[in-house]
Amino acid sequence: EDTRKGGFDHYMLKEIFEQPQSFYETIRAGIDDNVRQMIMGADEITLVACGTSYHTTLIFKYLAESLCNISVRAEMGSEFKYFVPPLRGLVIAVTQSGETADTIAALKMAKARNCSTLAITNVQGSTVTRVADSTLLMRAGPEIGVAATKSYTAQLAALMQIVNLRCERAFDDVLSHAHLAIGDVLLYDVRDAVALCSKADHAFFVGRGAFYPVAMEGALKMKEISYVHAEGYAAGELKHGPFALLTPETPVVAICTPGPTYSVMASNIKEMKARRAPVIALGVDGDKELAEIVDIFIPIPNTHLLVQVLTASVVLQLLAYHTACVLQRDVDKPRNLAKSVTVE
C-alpha cells in the first residue's frame, strides 16, 4: 500500500502532485476529428455532471461564454433528470468514473431528445462511453482518493481544449504550458491558512466569474475531507444573508485576481474585514495592495486567466488536504462518501 502511494502519506497528496502530468497528457492527447466536428457544429452546449465534475462544467460555462461567446448551460445530473430543460445541440456528460447514475440518466434523456451526446470521462469502456455518441477521454490515470483532484484538473484540460477550439485556438500556447504553473504551486506553504481553517467550524470561499465555481470546489474539498463546514459563494452575494454569519472565527477564502472584477472584489474583502472575518486571499504574485488589506495572502503566478483557474484550484486542494491532516481525518476515505455514486 505504501509503495502504491509513492512515498506520499495519502493517495490524495500523490494525486495532487500528479496534476502537472495528467493535465499535460490530456492536452497532448488532443481532440479527435469526430469530436472536433461535434464541438464546432454545436450552436448550444449543455453539460451535465455531479459533485466536483459539476464544478468543472460551471467553470467551462464562464470561460466559454465570456471568451468565445457560445451559449452554455451547466446542469446537475440529479436535477436535470426531473426538470429537463428545452434541449438542442450538443449535450456533454462530464464524469470521472463514467458511472454516476444521475449523470448517465440525464445523458440518456438528452439522447432520447435527439441531441448529439459526448462523454468526457477518465475511464475507457465505462457506462457513459457506451451511452454517448462519442467520448473525449481525459488522461488522469486511476484516481484512488475519494476526493477528486487530478481528475478535476484533467476535466478542465479537456474542457479548456473545447474553449480553445471554439476560440480559434487562441489559447494553444497557454494550454501547452499550463502544467508548468501547476507544478509551481505544488510546494506552497499554506500553513498559516491551515491554522485558521483547522480552528474554524465554518468557512466561506468566495470568488467571481470563473473563480466562483473554483471557490465552490474549494469549499467542497474542505467539507468532504476535513469536515469543516464550508460554503462556496459568489462574492457579491455574501452581503445578501451570509454576512450575518461572519465573526472573527469564520475565515473567508477570497480569490481576487486582476481583471474586470478586481476592484469590486477588493471592496467586498474590505466589507468582510469590517465584519471582523479573517480573510485569506489568493491573488497574483506581487499584488501588494491586496496583501495589505488581508490577513493571509497566498500569491499565485501572474499568468493567463485559464492558468489562474488551475493554480487557484490546486492551492485550495492543498488547503483542504493539510487542514484535514491537522484534524487527523481519514483523508482518502472520508466518512459517508463513495468514490462513485451508482444509484440515482
Q: Which of residues 40, 112, 170, 337 is near ligand G6P by CB under 6 A?
A: 337
The reply to whether 53 sits near ligand G6P by the rule CB under 6 A is yes
Site for ligand G6P in 257-276 (CB under 6 A): none
The reply to whether 226 sits near ligand G6P by the rule CB under 6 A is no
Helix or strand (DSSP H, E) at 33: helix 33-41
Site for ligand G6P in 91-110 (CB under 6 A): 95-97, 100, 103
Q: Which of residues 35, 50, 118, 294 is near ligand G6P by CB under 6 A?
A: 50
Q: Is 339 a catalytic residue?
A: yes
Site for ligand G6P in 133-162 (CB under 6 A): 146-148
Residues facing residue 34 across a β-bridge: none
Residue with C-alpha cell 448529439? 116
The DSSP result for 145-203, as a single string, is SSS-SHHHHHHHHHHHHHHHHHTTTTTHHHHHHHHHHHHHHTT---HHHHHHHHH-SEE
Phi first, then psi, for residue 316 (nearest 5°) are -70, -30
The span of 45-53, 82-90, 106-114, 175-183 binding ligand G6P (CB under 6 A) equals 45-53
C-beta of residue 290 within 8 angstroms of C-beta of residue 281: yes
Structure-block grid coordinates of residue 39: 464541438
The reply to whether 78 sits near ligand G6P by the rule CB under 6 A is no
Long-range contacts, 1-5 (Cβ 8 Å, 24+) = 4/144
The reply to whether 52 sits near ligand G6P by the rule CB under 6 A is yes
Number of residues counted as binding ligand G6P (CB under 6 A): 16
Residue 90: how many other CB atoms lie within 10 Å = 22
How far apart are CB 105 and ligand G6P at their closest, in Å? Answer: 12
Contacts of 37 (CB under 8 A, 6+ apart): none
Closest to 24 in 3D by CA, of 144, 125, 141? 141
Contacts of 54 (CB under 8 A, 6+ apart): 74, 76, 77, 94
164 vs 317, which CB is nearer to ligand G6P?
317
The reply to whether 129 sits near ligand G6P by the rule CB under 6 A is no
How far apart are CB 250 and ligand G6P at their closest, in Å? Answer: 25
182 vs 216, which CB is nearer to ligand G6P?
216
The reply to whether 340 sits near ligand G6P by the rule CB under 6 A is yes
Instruction: Kindly provide the residue ranges of all beta strands, DSSP E only, lying in 67-106, ordered along the sequence.
Output: 71-76, 90-95
Catalytic choice (5, 108, 111, 339): 339
How far apart are CB 333 and ligand G6P at their closest, in Å? Answer: 11
Among all residues, whose Cβ is closest to ligand G6P? 51
**Residues making contact with ligand G6P (CB under 6 A):** 50-53, 95-97, 100, 103, 146-148, 337, 339-341
Catalytic sites, residue numbers: 339
